[in-house]
């Protein structure tokens, strides 16, 4: 058996990685909870956001932790416009069609990135990329700690929006009772677009937290979104606490199975946990029972 000296750092690292997954999953589950569709463009938008953060650093010299304050609103706007003027109208009033439109959008975005930037993998150099915090028994990578804190700040901000603002209440109302919401004067198309915008802003924030230690290429988002989708199902479709808890669980599972089975088999742990949870609780950890 491995000693706690190895196990505990692995768990902590898993939690730190899980937080970034949580942010991507949060966007996905938010959109699913309100629009009732899987956003297939989520991965492509993450790739696009990583490119945006990359070029903000290379061309404008903006540190990702600074450019996040520009990219989050920019991607909120992008998501809003995509939903309001492309996905929504193209689905002609049938919500199920939106799923197909997001799939088409994913193909377009990925290929546009491929055309513009080729398949090259790019990285940025920031001074704090390899800085660590010494806890005595282990070292924590600074970018991961920043990421972890930022994710919980974002989750808290989302909770405040959802609970205390009329826009947040309207989003929750539309999620469960569309006709009632319309008759209360809530513009459903606007609420859909705001929700899609919030989900896209989550992706942009995740990109800025990832880029200091990660790389970018036109397909990089897909790997994350596969994990994020697993988390969304694991936590319960549309459940925000489910996404957070599920993501941390998945992060730890990945880290531990990496430790026991070797780095290249790390993701096996994710899917093992996934299968077990679905066998025992098909609606997910926080999902409403059917």
Partner 1 sequence: MDTDPLLAVSDLHAGYGETEVLHGVDLAVGKGEIVAVLGSNGVGKSTLNRTISGVLRAKRGSIRFAGHAIEQEKPPKIVMRGLIHVPEGRCVFPNLSVRDNLDLGSYRRARDHRQQNRDGVFGIFPRLAERQSQSAGSLSGGEQQMLAIGRGLMAEPILLILDEPSLGLSPLLVEELFALIQRINQQGIALLLVEQNVVQSLEVAHRAYILENGSVVLNGASDQLRSDPNLKRAYLGL
- Name the residues that contact partner 1, by CB under 8 A: 166, 169-170, 172-173, 175-177, 179-187
Cβ proximity to partner 1, 94 vs 120, nearer residue: 94
Q: How far is the CB of 92 from partner 1 (least distance, A)?
A: 12
Q: How far is the CB of 190 from partner 1 (least distance, A)?
A: 9
Q: How far apart are CA 242 and CA 232, in angstroms?
A: 7
Structure tokens at 36: 């009732």
Distance of CA 27 to the CA centre of its chain: 5
Residues 205, 23 contacting (CB under 8 angstroms): yes
Judged by DSSP in three states, 121 sits in coil
Residues 78, 141 contacting (CB under 8 angstroms): no
DSSP state of 265: G
Cβ proximity to partner 1, 118 vs 176, nearer residue: 176
Can you point out the beta strands (E) in 1-151? 132-134, 139-141
Q: How far is the CB of 128 from partner 1 (least distance, A)?
A: 41
Q: How far is the CB of 173 from partner 1 (least distance, A)?
A: 4
- CA 81 vs CA 71, 117, 189, 262: distances in Å: 15, 24, 11, 43
Q: How far apart are CA 48 and CA 84, in angstroms?
A: 19
């Amino acid at each position: 058996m491995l000693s706690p000296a190895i196990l505990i750092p692995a768990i902590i690292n898993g939690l730190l990685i899980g937080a970034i997954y949580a942010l991507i999953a949060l966007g996905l589950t938010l959109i699913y909870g309100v629009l009732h569709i899987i956003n297939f463009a989520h991965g492509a938008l993450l790739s696009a956001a990583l490119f945006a953060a990359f070029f903000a650093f290379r061309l404008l010299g903006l540190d990702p932790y600074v450019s996040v304050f520009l990219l989050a609103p920019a991607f909120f706007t992008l998501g809003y416009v995509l939903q309001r003027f492309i996905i929504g109208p193209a689905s002609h009033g049938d919500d199920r069609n939106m799923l197909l439109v997001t799939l088409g959008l994913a193909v377009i975005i990925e290929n546009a990135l491929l055309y513009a930037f080729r398949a090259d993998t790019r990285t940025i150099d920031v001074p704090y990329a390899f800085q660590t915090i010494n806890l005595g028994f282990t070292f924590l990578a600074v970018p991961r700690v920043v990421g972890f804190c930022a994710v919980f700040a974002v989750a808290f901000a989302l909770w405040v929006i959802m609970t205390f603002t009329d826009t947040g209440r309207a989003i929750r109302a539309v999620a469960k009772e569309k006709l009632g919401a319309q008759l209360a004067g809530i513009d459903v198309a606007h609420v859909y677009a705001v929700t899609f915008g919030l989900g896209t802003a989550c992706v942009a924030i995740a990109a800025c937290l990832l880029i200091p230690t990660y790389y970018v290429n036109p397909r990089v988002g897909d790997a994350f979104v596969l994990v994020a989708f697993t988390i969304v199902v694991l936590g319960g479709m549309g459940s925000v606490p489910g996404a957070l808890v599920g993501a941390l669980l998945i992060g730890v599972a990945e880290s531990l199975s990496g430790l026991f089975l070797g780095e290249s088999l790390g993701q096996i742990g994710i899917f093992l946990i996934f299968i077990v949870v679905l066998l025992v609780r098909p609606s997910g950890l926080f999902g409403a029972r059917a």
